[in-house]
């Protein structure tokens, strides 16, 4: 199946709106969530059975695909979707898009596993797709066909099977674009966020591209951190902005602990237990919304103002895994509360919207440990303020890092000298290539490379 490509002059963007459904519509949405889980679990079980049959008999099957598994699902859904108590077939109550979404998730997970075990997929090792369990799997469903539109009254949306649903907020920002022919809705995803239902429209939009930011010649470095959400500096050594960190989790920690103690005194499964759990869920959602609001304001302002933005290629997930250090638990909580990887993700697409450029510095670039005056590299541990041993200049961690990022230039060749003239650790500038998966499952003979192995039970 050919992949959809965004035409020139257009861009793909998401518009999210909270919903205010009726009790009947809420029940209908829950059925769509359950139908998606059912189809996904059937697809995972089918893929497992095909692999088991191949290992036992050597019989190969078709290459797993969404179209192929949907055909097989249509042949068995009359027996799979049967109420155990009444014996009635319930699949007509579910949109075909919910079943297709579940099968697509299983197929994508299967191919992620295959490419990971073959060593052709970057990142951490990916396992075989797991079964989706109610309460553990994130409730969501995506519709790509059917009645999907925003009503002219700007307070209702129409979704397949669910019908006309009132929105909690005004939809004028999307309705205007659709009515003027500058936007086309491609898909709609309904998901549960905390205690609310949210619809996210995937929209192809012809937005007026800003020809250039307000300061097109400006090059700034942005250092994200825990003490300060972001420090913005230029290559001349001037700190332009220090954005305070709202730390929403830290602000809500006292209330969160109180609610968790209250829940521990309830009988699990009781009405009061569920009521307290709802309060915890709402509090967590509020924390996430506050964090997202401040980061969106920051990244939009940066993309509209500066022509070139340099950020660090931080391994945020690896930083959260650090253990064995003094105060590591509180440090991990502070890192999670700051969402260090989110500004870079948002700047990746917002710079394209507003005509600016994003530069991601190497992960091993020692921006904090290098003196921006004399380029001396020294170990500063976790000190917020430090004095350079080479020139005696007093530095602040975030300010110094932002200035070095603004002066960052991509290294050329295999030199052991970093972009600011400071020596880097041995091997720090060497990229890690894809690694073969371990175990006998990834190899069928010593004469072949791992990446060239045929897929188990698949006709190539």
Which of 117, 150, 168 is where one domain is finished?
117
Domain presence at residue 371: yes
**Do 221 and 349 lie in a common domain?**
yes
**Do 17 and 57 lie in a common domain?**
no
**Do 414 and 313 lie in a common domain?**
yes
Is the pLDDT reported for residue 91 higher than 80? yes
**Do 70 and 159 lie in a common domain?**
no
Exposure string over 278-309, b if 16+ CB within 10 A, otherwise e: ebbbebeeebeebbeebbeebbeebbbbbbbb
338 closest CA partner among 243, 413, 407, 264: 243
The order of strands in the sheet holding 156-159 is 149-150, 156-159, 163-166
**Do 226 and 324 lie in a common domain?**
yes
Domain presence at residue 268: no
Q: What is the pLDDT of residue 37?
A: 96
Tokens 């155990």 correspond to 84
Q: Convert the pLDDT of each residue in 135-182 to its tens digit.
A: 888 899 999 998 999 999 999 999 999 999 999 999 999 999 999 989
Structure tokens at 450: 């791992």
Q: Convert the pLDDT of each residue in 13-35 to its tens digit.
A: 899 999 999 999 999 999 999 99
Is the pLDDT reported for residue 215 higher than 50? yes
Residue with the bigger pLDDT between 348 and 379: it is: 348
**Do 149 and 236 lie in a common domain?**
no
**Do 110 and 152 lie in a common domain?**
no
Q: How many domains does the chain have?
A: 3
Mean pLDDT, the chain, whole residue set: 84
**Do 419 and 362 lie in a common domain?**
yes
pTM (2 d.p.): 0.78
In 3-state terms, the chain is what percent helix, strand and coil (to 5)?
40, 20, 40
Domain presence at residue 273: no
pLDDT confidence band for 375 (50 / 70 / 90): confident
Which of 205, 231, 258 is where one domain is finished?
205
Domain that includes residue 386, residue range: 211-246+285-428
Domain presence at residue 442: no
- Residue pair 280/192 in contact (Cβ under 8 Å)? The answer is no
**Do 171 and 104 lie in a common domain?**
no
**Do 295 and 314 lie in a common domain?**
yes
Domain presence at residue 179: yes
**Catalytically annotated residues:** 223, 312, 398
Percent of the chain with pLDDT over 90: 54
Q: Answer positive or negative: Cα dihedral of 283, 289, 295, 297.
A: negative
Q: Which residues contact 355 (CB under 8 A, 6 or more apart)?
A: 209, 210, 211, 212, 213, 216
Exposure string over 231-259, b if 16+ CB within 10 A, otherwise e: bbbbbeeeebbbbebbbbbbebeeebeeb
pLDDT confidence band for 452 (50 / 70 / 90): very low
**Do 18 and 109 lie in a common domain?**
no
Domain presence at residue 125: no
Domain presence at residue 5: no
- DSSP H helices in 58-169: 66-80, 96-117
Average pLDDT (433-441) is 43
**Do 228 and 295 lie in a common domain?**
yes
Is the pLDDT reported for residue 440 higher than 60? no
Domain presence at residue 446: no
Average pLDDT (249-261) is 95
């Amino acid at each position: 199946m050919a992949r959809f490509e965004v035409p020139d002059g257009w861009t793909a963007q998401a518009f999210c709106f909270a919903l205010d459904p009726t009790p009947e519509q809420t029940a209908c949405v829950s059925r769509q969530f359950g139908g998606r889980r059912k189809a996904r679990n059937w697809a995972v079980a089918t893929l497992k059975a095909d692999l088991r049959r191949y290992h036992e008999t050597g019989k190969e099957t078709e290459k797993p695909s969404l179209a192929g598994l949907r055909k097989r699902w249509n042949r068995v859904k009359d027996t799979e979707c049967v109420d155990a108590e009444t014996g009635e077939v319930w699949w007509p109550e579910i949109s075909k898009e919910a079943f297709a979404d579940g099968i697509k998730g299983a197929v994508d997970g299967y191919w992620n596993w295959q490419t990971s075990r073959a060593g052709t997929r970057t990142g951490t090792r990916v396992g075989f797709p797991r079964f989706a369990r109610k309460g553990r799997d994130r409730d969501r469903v995506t519709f790509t066909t059917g009645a999907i539109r925003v009503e002219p009254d700007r307070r209702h949306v129409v979704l397949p099977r669910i019908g006309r649903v009132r929105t909690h907020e005004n939809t004028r920002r999307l309705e205007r674009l659709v009515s003027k022919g500058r936007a086309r809705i491609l898909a709609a995803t309904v998901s549960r966020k905390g205690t609310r239902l949210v619809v996210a429209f995937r929209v192809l939009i012809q937005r007026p591209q800003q020809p250039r930011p307000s300061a097109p010649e400006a090059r700034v470095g942005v250092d994200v951190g825990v003490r300060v959400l972001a420090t913005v500096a230029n290559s001349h050594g001037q700190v332009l902005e220090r954005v305070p960190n709202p730390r929403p989790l830290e602000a809500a920690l006292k209330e969160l602990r109180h609610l968790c103690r209250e829940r521990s005194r309830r009988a699990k499964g009781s009405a009061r237990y569920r009521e307290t759990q709802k309060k915890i869920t709402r509090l967590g959602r509020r924390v996430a919304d506050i964090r997202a609001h401040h980061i969106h304001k920051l990244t939009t302002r940066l993309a509209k103002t500066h022509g070139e933005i340099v950020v660090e290629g931080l391994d945020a997930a690896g930083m959260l895994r650090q253990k064995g250090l003094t105060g590591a638990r509180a440090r991990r909580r502070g890192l999670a509360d700051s969402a260090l990887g989110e500004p870079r993700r948002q700047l990746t697409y917002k710079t394209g919207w507003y005509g600016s450029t994003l530069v991601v510095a190497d992960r091993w670039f020692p921006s904090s440990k290098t003196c921006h005056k004399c380029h001396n590299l020294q170990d500063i541990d976790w000190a917020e303020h430090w004095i350079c041993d080479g020139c005696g200049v007093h530095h602040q961690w975030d300010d110094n890092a932002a200035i070095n990022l603004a002066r960052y230039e991509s290294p050329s060749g295999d030199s052991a000298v970093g972009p600011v003239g400071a020596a880097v650790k041995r091997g720090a500038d060497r990229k890690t290539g894809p690694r073969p998966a371990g175990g006998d499952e990834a190899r069928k003979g010593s004469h072949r490379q791992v990446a060239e192995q045929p897929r188990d039970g698949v006709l190539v």
